Amino acid sequence: MIVMKDVYKTYPNGVTAINGISVNIDQGEFVYIVGPSGAGKSTFIKLMYREEKPTKGTIIVNNKNLSELKEKEIPYLRRDIGVVFQDFKLLPKLTVYENVAFALEVIEEPPRNIRKRVMEVLDIVGLKNKARSAPSELSGGEQQRAAIARAIVNRPKILIADEPTGNLDPETSMVIMDTLETINSSGTTILMATHSKSIVNAMKKRVIAIENGIIARDEQRGEYGYEV
């Protein structure tokens, strides 16, 4: 599903964020990415959805070799990968429904399918009753669930989450984790970068620890492993 081989990433300013990473992630896995601030977690994640290009090495996502991907093929890669962020990134002037529908409109899904699919995913994240609300009328946890609905509406094979609970209190974070677990149990591969020791230690999933741009640990039923 995701293969990285001898991957390096040096930014134009000379900072080497990824310093030789090889890893395999299978379809259906749930993987936590942990490590100190500045360790390279976000860069590792951005390489997978081609937000950044590696300086060296091979990245294969969903049988597509990203270094051979042409610019015009990037939208197709992005259909296979949903992404959610710490700050949600919802469009403020659109309703929850419109935010989610937008992802289908841009890929020119037939209108009759859009309504059905949008309500389906709003149901999955428990937000059917907020379809007409603006993002500003939602709590942080609801906004993140709306962002998750938008990310999965295309049925991506991979969902990437960069600190999705970073702005949320522990109780709300657990609701987000339940939502992600449901999505994972339907077969979607999930990669989640997080600083939440309590979440990682409670879930007993695969943990990849990145330190100074390399994989310092990769454990199947891992722990967070850092003091907070």
Minimum Å distance from CB 202 to ligand ADP?
20
Residue among 15 and 107 whose Cβ is closer to ligand ADP? 15
Q: Which amino acid would we find at residue 151? A: A
CB atoms within 10 A of CB 186: 10
Question: Bridge-partner residues for 30, per DSSP?
Answer: 190
62 near ligand ADP (CB under 6 A): no
Question: Bridge-partner residues for 58, per DSSP?
Answer: 5
Nearest to 100 by CA among 133, 139, 51: 133
DSSP state of 136: G
183 near ligand ADP (CB under 6 A): yes
86 near ligand ADP (CB under 6 A): no
CA–CA dist 168, 140 (Å, integer): 7
Minimum Å distance from CB 208 to ligand ADP?
12
104 near ligand ADP (CB under 6 A): no
Minimum Å distance from CB 3 to ligand ADP?
20
Q: Under 8 Å CB-to-CB from 179, ≥6 apart: which residues?
A: 124, 125, 126, 145, 148
Residue among 85 and 134 whose Cβ is closer to ligand ADP? 85
The total number of residues shown for the chain amounts to: 228
Binds ligand ADP by CB under 6 A, chosen from 2, 4, 17, 192: 17
Residues near ligand ADP (CB under 6 A) are 11, 13, 15, 17, 35, 37-43, 120, 124, 152, 155-156, 182-183, 186-188
